[in-house]
Structures are given as C-alpha cells and as structure tokens.
C-alpha cells in the first residue's frame, strides 16, 4: 500500500521513509503541505498519509481540511505527526480531518501499530466500495441474459435522446420480440425458454457496434439503442439481427430449436426527447411486423404513428 510522507525536515523524511519501507509500504515524499495536497488530489493517490503538523505553504491540519472538503472516495486515512501534545491542539487536528496522530519524537512501534489500524480502515472502505459497485451493477443487470435490465436500458435511451437533441443528430430505436416464445416454454419447459433467451441475447449483442446498447425490456422483448443511425440504417441493423437469429438453430437438451424474432424500428431526429413515446412507436411497428407474419421488420416514424398527436 502506498503511503505519503510530508515533512519539511529532511531528517524526519529519511527516518520515516526507511521505517515504512522496512514495514513493506511504498513510500512517496512531499517536502511541504502544498506538495502533499497536490499528490493527494491526484488519481491513484496514496490511501495513507503521514503529515507533519507545521510545514511551509500549508500546515498538516490545513491539508486535512482540504482533503475532507474536496475528496470523497476512495478514503484517505491521515495521521498527523506533531510536537503539539496538549488536548486542545490534538482536538484541533482531529477536527480538521485527521484520523489519528503521533507525537514527536515518535516511537517506531507505536507508529507501525497506528498505520496498521489505518490500513485496516482503508481496506474495509475499499471492500465496501466494491460491494456497493457490485450491488449497483446487479441492480442494473438482467441476471438471466446479463444484459442491462428494463430500467437501465430505458435510462440509456433517455440519455441518448438528450444527446441527440443537444447535438442535432439521429438515434435509432429497435424493439424486438422472440416469435412464439410461449410455445417454446409450453413445449420444452422454462429451462429451454431461459436457454433461448440467453442465446438470443448473446447473438444480438455479438452483432452490434461497440457503442450500440441493448437490454432486456420485457419477458422476451429486447430494446436496442443505435446512436447516429437514421431509419434506413436502423432497419439494416435490425435485418442483420433478424438474419443472425433465424440463421442457425439453438441446441437445448438435445433438441434443435429454430428461433426467430419480429422487429419494430423507429428513429428520433432530436426534436422529441421522451423515451416512452419512442418505445411506443417501436412497439407499434413491432405489432405490424407480427401482423405481417413474424420474423420480419417493420419501420415507423413518429409522424406516421398514433403517437404523433401526443408528441
């Protein structure tokens, strides 16, 4: 773990650096408070800092205060090294944002133990951040297909429509539905249905540009967001997906299942930013594709749809 040592005394910097390196820490050095603040504000900054109280440009407590006011995560554990040992002075340092202190001249064993305590706190905070990020990811993911779930892909569409409006460009929207999915479930069971959903998701995702987005929108429905696509380009992408799906069978429990899907395609030119409206337009186009016999594509603009009067 990296530790920042900030002290204007070359003797203390050398003594501290040798001790910390002996204990297995990676040591970074600052000669004054301003240098310490700059190093702590950088990406990948040390998680532990040992700051002298009295330094040029910024004192140790001033650095503490700046860190606590500005930096949130990951947490920086700060230990003040001070010749001040009255109660009021120690309280002042802790109120400034220091986590602990060691009085000069310091005892090496005491410093080592206090740094270990700081490392435990930093490690626990990193564990909490990882757990939080994992929970956020799980909250935004459909665990069967490992695609973004309905709220996540709807949010992605909303953000893309806002960019589309701001930058005056188009965005394609595709809503697709696996044909006769209920029959697959009824005939082969839900295990087979789950396998079809997973394989469909993989084939669709593998047939898209890196910056396109797809999510599971409903039971057997998927929503696709295509930045910088007009209606013709979005329809071509839908055709590639349709062809990829129906082109080969899916093997489930020894049975070869041929799967197809119906596609509804629309596009936004940036004039309307409501994601709900465009999903409804795509759904209207999808309904037409099903009425045309399934395993096909239907395109529809907002102006051509029943949503035109609402927008």
Token pair for 273: 């930013």
Token pair for 287: 């309904």
Where does residue 192 rank: exposed (0-12), middle (13-18), buried (19+ CB within 10 A)?
A: middle
Handedness of CA 232, 233, 236, 242 (dihedral sign): negative
Show Cβ contacts of residue 253 under 8 Å, excluding neighbours closer than 6 positions: 188, 191, 192
Residue from 160, 220, 221, 284 carrying the catalytic annotation? 220
The label of the residue with tokens 């650096």 reads 17
The label of the residue with tokens 């907002």 reads 302
- 160 catalytic, yes or no? no
Contact 33, 10 (CB under 8 A): no
Identify whether 273 is preceded by a cis peptide bond (ω within 30 of 0). Answer: no
Which three-class secondary structure state does DSSP give residue 251? strand
Strand partners, 298: 264
User: Of all helices (H) and strands (E), which one includes residue 121?
Assistant: helix 108-139
Contact 217, 175 (CB under 8 A): yes
The label of the residue with tokens 């949130």 reads 72
Token pair for 247: 């082109």
Contact 282, 264 (CB under 8 A): yes
Which residues are marked as active site?
Answer: 220
């Amino acid at each position: 773990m990296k530790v920042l040592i900030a002290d204007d005394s070359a003797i203390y910097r050398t003594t501290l650096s040798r001790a910390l390196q002996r204990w297995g820490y990676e040591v970074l050095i600052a000669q004054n408070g301003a240098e310490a603040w700059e190093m702590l504000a950088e990406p990948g900054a040390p998680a532990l800092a040992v700051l002298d109280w009295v330094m040029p440009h910024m004192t140790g407590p001033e650095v503490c205060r700046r860190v606590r006011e500005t930096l949130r995560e990951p947490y920086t554990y700060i230990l003040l090294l001070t010749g001040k040992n009255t109660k009021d002075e120690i309280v002042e340092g802790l109120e400034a944002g220091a986590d602990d202190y060691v009085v000069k001249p310091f005892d090496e064993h005491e410093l080592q133990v206090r740094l270990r305590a700081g490392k435990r706190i930093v490690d626990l905070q990193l564990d909490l951040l990882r757990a939080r990020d994992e929970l956020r990811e799980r909250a935004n993911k459909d665990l069967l297909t490992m695609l973004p779930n309905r709220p996540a892909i709807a949010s992605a569409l909303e953000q893309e429509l806002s960019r589309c409006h701001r930058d005056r460009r188009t965005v394609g929207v595709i809503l697709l539905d696996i044909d006769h999915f209920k029959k697959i479930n009824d005939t082969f069971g839900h295990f087979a249905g789950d396998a079809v959903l997973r394989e469909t998701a993989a084939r669709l995702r593998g047939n898209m540009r890196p910056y396109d987005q797809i999510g599971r929108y409903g039971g057997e429905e998927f929503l696709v967001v295509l930045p910088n696509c007009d209606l013709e380009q979005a329809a071509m992408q839908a055709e590639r997906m349709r062809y990829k799906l129906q082109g080969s069978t899916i093997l489930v429990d020894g049975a070869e299942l041929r799967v197809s899907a119906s596609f509804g395609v629309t596009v936004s030119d940036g004039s309307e930013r409501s994601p709900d409206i465009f999903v409804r337009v795509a759904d209207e186009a999808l309904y037409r594709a099903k009425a045309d016999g399934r395993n096909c594509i239907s395109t529809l603009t907002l102006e051509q749809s029943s949503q035109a009067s609402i927008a």
